[in-house]
């Protein structure tokens, strides 16, 4: 692992850093397994086919989405609101220590931990599984050095829609937002910035500035892209203090 000084320099320069094998595969698989178990309870209740196959599990997810959307949403809400394994990861002492080393001397989770299960057949609108270019800061108004920690729960690459980042775009500050056809607040494509779509493995994490412009990639291999992300603000940031700790984030369905 790179030194803290090097990580700080890279985060300031590019707006993101990728840390390989930060968590063990066992830790990450435990979160995914616990999440799937919530849905499996309803699969059993609905008498859906039981199988260890990922394809059957995906088919059951799609079936529940179409046949009982309310129950599907409720499963997601339960995961978001209190899955032990998810929150244990977000409040990891190792992760907190890393955040402190890269500059957030008093980090606080400023929005509820989020776990995503992205697939075009598990969303009623395209932007619910493929988020357009955006910054996270406008929905948070957190500290100027606030960051997002994005964690894939499966191996991700271009085929299953790995996140697309625009390095150095955080230096633009809060950019004016437009409204796409979907109504989602979108950022214009940064000029002269070549996007990157890093391939990541289970256990890897990416930390990026809340000002960094990013978007979801296209899912072309008909699999569910499982991931989670946590947002951290610095409670000792003078600007955040002077603004009275604003907390404008609104929780909405992501299905």
Residue ranges per domain, the chain? 4-242
What confidence tier does 182 reach under pLDDT thresholds 50, 70, 90?
low
- Bridge partners, residue 114, by sequence: 229
Taking 60 as the threshold, does the pLDDT of residue 237 lie above it? Answer: yes
Strands 107-109 and 225-234: antiparallel
Looking at the whole model, is its pTM more than 0.95? no
| φ, ψ of residue 108 in degrees (nearest 5) | -140, 135
3-state secondary structure of 150: strand
- DSSP code string of 171-226: GG-SPPPEE-TT--EEPPPPTT---B---B-TT-EEEEETTS-EEPPPB-SS--EE
CATH number, domain 4-242? 2.60.120.620
Q: C-alpha angle 239/244/249, rounded to 5°?
A: 95
What confidence tier does 3 reach under pLDDT thresholds 50, 70, 90?
low
- Please state, rounded to an integer, the average pLDDT across all residues of the chain: 92
What confidence tier does 188 reach under pLDDT thresholds 50, 70, 90?
confident
Taking 70 as the threshold, does the pLDDT of residue 248 lie above it? Answer: yes
Count the neighbouring beta carbons within 10 Å of the beta carbon of residue 59. 15
């Amino acid at each position: 692992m790179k030194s803290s000084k090097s990580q700080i320099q890279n985060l300031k320069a590019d707006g993101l850093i990728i840390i390989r094998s930060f968590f063990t595969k066992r830790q990450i698989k435990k979160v995914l397994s616990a999440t799937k178990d919530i849905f499996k309870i309803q699969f059993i209740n609905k008498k859906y086919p039981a199988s260890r196959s990922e394809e059957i599990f995906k088919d059951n997810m799609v079936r529940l989405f179409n046949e009982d959307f309310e129950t599907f949403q409720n499963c997601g809400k339960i995961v978001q609101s209190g899955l032990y394994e998810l929150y244990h990861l977000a409040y990891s002492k190792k992760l907190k220590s890393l955040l402190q080393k890269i500059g957030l001397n008093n980090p606080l989770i400023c929005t509820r931990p989020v776990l995503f299960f992205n697939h075009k057949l598990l969303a009623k609108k395209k932007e619910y599984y493929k988020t357009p270019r955006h910054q996270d800061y406008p929905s948070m108004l957190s500290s100027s050095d606030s960051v997002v920690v994005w964690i894939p729960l499966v191996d991700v690459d271009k085929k299953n829609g790995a996140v697309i980042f625009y390095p150095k775009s955080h230096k633009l500050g809060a950019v004016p937002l437009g409204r796409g056809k979907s109504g989602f607040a979108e950022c214009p494509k940064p000029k002269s910035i070549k996007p990157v779509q890093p391939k990541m493995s289970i256990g890897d994490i990416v930390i990026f500035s809340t000002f960094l412009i990013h978007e979801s990639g296209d899912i072309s291999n008909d699999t569910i892209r499982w991931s989670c992300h946590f947002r951290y603000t610095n409670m000792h940031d003078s600007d955040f203090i002077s603004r009275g700790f604003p907390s404008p984030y609104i929780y909405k369905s992501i299905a």
